[in-house]
Amino acid sequence: MYVMILAAPGSGKGTQGKVLAASLGIPQVSTGDLLRAAVKAGTPLGTQAKGYIDQGLLVPDELVVELIREILDSASGRNGVLMDGFPRTVAQAEAVDRILAGKQARVDHVALLEVDEQELVQRLLARAAKEGRSDDNLESIQQRLRVFHQQTEPLIAYYERQGVVRRVQGSGDIDA
């Protein structure tokens, strides 16, 4: 089963992704976590990605799609994955569709977490204070939200045309 969680930064994709992946028995793939690990390890992909991440910009499609292809081709990803925060653009979604079509598979479900923007900013600022993440400063947060609205929101329509979107209220406690 191939499942995606789409939502703005700070909406709880990672937290809900862990819960959902565990209940479905499939691995969770967070491109954000993978990219941060690559940055920390100083890999060539990480070095390229760091400049984009620190500015609150999306990492270019070709870098992220290759990372996802490796995951989908791995032993752990062959029978399904939960993609957390990926794809972020229609071009990335089309690339995933091509990869999955080669496996005679498709995206089965897209969970769309909806959270008020003011709450998102407060969550991200609190996370920055707690975790010290360089990509969680006010200027970067505002840029990431602009990028989300401009480039990621068209995914909602893309997946709605496929009939796989499920809208979920992302405010409140985690279990709700």
Phi/psi for 61 (5° steps) reads: -50, -45
Q: Which 3 state secondary structure label does DSSP give 112? A: strand
Q: Are 100 and 112 in contact (CB under 8 A)?
A: no
R_g (Cα) of the chain, nearest Å: 15
Q: Are 111 and 20 in contact (CB under 8 A)?
A: yes
Q: Could you list the active site residues?
A: 13, 88, 127, 133, 144
User: b/e for 73-97, b at 16 or more Cβ within 10 A?
Assistant: eeeebeebbbbbbbbbbeebbebbb
